[in-house]
Amino acid sequence: MNCPKCKSPVNNNATTCEWCGNALVIEIVSETYANATVSNPNAQHLPADRNFWLTVLFSIVTFGIYPLYLVHAFAKETNIACRDDGSRTNGLAMVILLSLVTFGIYAIVWQCMIINRRNAYLVRNGKPEGLQVSFYLLTIFLLSWLTLGIMCFVVWSRDLRLQNEVNKTYNEFNRL
């Protein structure tokens, strides 16, 4: 950090400049936001208000087609929000194809990768992490059986909340 008056380097924790005595104003700003330029003019608003019970209702009404749409939407929204991390999340067609080839294993791997990517985005932007991969895996391999599937709904709810938080953070960052 440099003194705004004399431009001399000063300690980040200093309250006054040791060279000119100027009082320093300390602003607490997330590093990502501090280094950001003007918001992206091509940024699009991402939905940050998906409701769990409406999602369950849509899934029932559409005979299970709506969760497939969510895979597509989550991959697209995650790719938009996390575009600076150098990764890309596969969309619905690739998830279906690779899941068929691997007898469903890729769907689990895909979910773990997207959870990690969204949590990393939140951490980079100074937000707490959401759903953890360990909890997801524990649920699908053990807790879903022990709770007769109820924990699957808990994971689904947390996954929706995680995507909502990523989208909300993206919208705030881009002032949408």
Q: What pLDDT digit, counting tens, does each position of 68-116 carry?
A: 999 999 999 999 999 999 999 999 999 999 999 999 999 999 999 999 9
pLDDT recorded at residue 42:
78
pTM summary value = 0.76
Q: Domain range holding 152?
A: 52-173
Same-domain pairing of 6 and 61: no
Give 10's pLDDT tier (boundaries 50, 70, 90).
confident
Q: Is the pLDDT of residue 9 over 50?
A: yes
Same-domain pairing of 59 and 144: yes
Same-domain pairing of 25 and 97: no
Same-domain pairing of 70 and 30: no
d(C-alpha 81, C-alpha 170), whole Å: 6
Number of domains in the chain: 2
Same-domain pairing of 28 and 80: no
Same-domain pairing of 27 and 68: no
Same-domain pairing of 72 and 158: yes
